Amino acid sequence: MSRHDGPGGGSAELQRPKLVPLHGVPMPDIFLENWEAVEKFQADPQDLLIATYPKAGTTWVQEIVDFILQDGDADRCRRAPMDSRIPFLEFSCKGFHPPGTELLAKMPSPKVIKTHLPFQLLPKSFLDQDCKMIYCARNAKDILVSYFHFDSMNKLQPEPGTWEEYFHKFLQGNVSYGLWHDHVKGWWEQKDKHPILYIFYEDIKEDPRREIVKVMRFLGKALPDTVVDGIVQHTSFQSMKENPMSNYTSVPAIVFDQTVSTFMRKGEVGDWKNHFTAAQDKAFEADYVRRMKGCHLRFRTELQGGQ
């Protein structure tokens, strides 16, 4: 019986996964069924990896990268939903959808690949092949809010519980991919040792054009200004929210119940202020200082002029 079979064999509800530790990092048990193939994944030197902690703006960066590689051609970027254009390396849900490694095996290189893996769990071949990697980071307060809403609507994540319960789970790293702090620091420490472009969600919000040009140069591309203008427009929150190839409406409702929360939810910096209580903010800050001690990474939890 597959994960989405009901007791009588019909399609009913998905059984939510449990978290199990993978080298100390909590992961959905369903992903571990294919872990051996992930570990053995053979990257090509021209492959590009987009890495993030969940909810850091992965889909946004994926769309930006695809637009740059397709020379700003919007029709070509509508060739398939995001999860087919840029497969999710460690994704696995037997009996429901082919795992990321299987989709990637069918794609010609150079490929663009999505992952949420912390640096230490990355398949070795990405480093052996000296692949380019883009890491996008987002401030933890907005991630926490976004992740809570996502786990409420995504049946391939453990049940989030109440906001208060989720708040504590996140601070303890008891969510898929573990502690946000370890993830952003782990990639930050590696950024000068490998070809890694480390960018920030808040910077893209502040000045999308500037960050798109940064990504374009990293990819070794030079597109005319008018094409870059088009990419800014096509990758705006509103455009991506309306685009069925980037808003994940292609995922069946038994997996992503977008009546609970839309995938393209708010796309803002500072939405945490609508969720955090004063006590939660205080607890968050105390924990943050402790966990980020000695780290030079700086995050913005609001933007001038509020965006």
Residues that bind ligand PPS in the complex, under the rule CB under 6 A: 52, 54-60, 142, 146, 149-150, 235-237, 240, 264-267, 271
194 φψ region: left (φ > 0), alpha (ψ -120 to 50), beta (else):
beta
Annotated active-site residue in 4, 97, 116, 181 = 116
| DSSP H or E stretch at residue 113 | strand 112-115
> Can you tell me the distance from the alpha carbon of 274 to that of 22, in angstroms, rounded to the nearest whole number?
34
Of the two residues 4 and 116, which places its CB atom closer to ligand PPS in the complex? Answer: 116
Query: Shortest gap between Cβ of 148 and ligand PPS (angstroms)?
Result: 9
Of the two residues 129 and 266, which places its CB atom closer to ligand PPS in the complex? Answer: 266
Of the two residues 129 and 265, which places its CB atom closer to ligand PPS in the complex? Answer: 265
> Can you tell me the distance from the alpha carbon of 203 to that of 183, in angstroms, rounded to the nearest whole number?
19
Query: Shortest gap between Cβ of 276 and ligand PPS (angstroms)?
Result: 14
> Can you tell me the distance from the alpha carbon of 40 to that of 83, in angstroms, rounded to the nearest whole number?
21
Of the candidates 263, 228, 229, 259, the residue with the CA atom closest to the CA atom of residue 244: 263
Query: Is 116 marked active-site?
Result: yes
User: What are residue 167's phi and psi, to 5 degrees?
Assistant: -55, -45
Of the two residues 40 and 151, which places its CB atom closer to ligand PPS in the complex? Answer: 151
Of the candidates 207, 196, 235, 150, the residue with the CA atom closest to the CA atom of residue 51: 196
Residue with the shortest CB distance to ligand PPS: 267
DSSP for 237-305, written as a single string: HHHHHH-TTTS-TTS-TTTB-TTT--SS----SSGGGGT--HHHHHHHHHHHHHHTTT------SS-TT
Of the two residues 42 and 249, which places its CB atom closer to ligand PPS in the complex? Answer: 249
Angle, helix 58-69 to helix 208-218, in steps of 10 degrees: 60
Query: Shortest gap between Cβ of 142 and ligand PPS (angstroms)?
Result: 6
Hey, how many other C-beta atoms are within 10 angstroms of the C-beta on 164?
11
> Can you tell me the distance from the alpha carbon of 70 to that of 190, in angstroms, rounded to the nearest whole number?
29
Of the two residues 43 and 264, which places its CB atom closer to ligand PPS in the complex? Answer: 264
Query: Shortest gap between Cβ of 19 and ligand PPS (angstroms)?
Result: 16
| DSSP H or E stretch at residue 132 | strand 132-137
Query: Shortest gap between Cβ of 5 and ligand PPS (angstroms)?
Result: 25
Query: Shortest gap between Cβ of 248 and ligand PPS (angstroms)?
Result: 8
Active-site residue set:
116
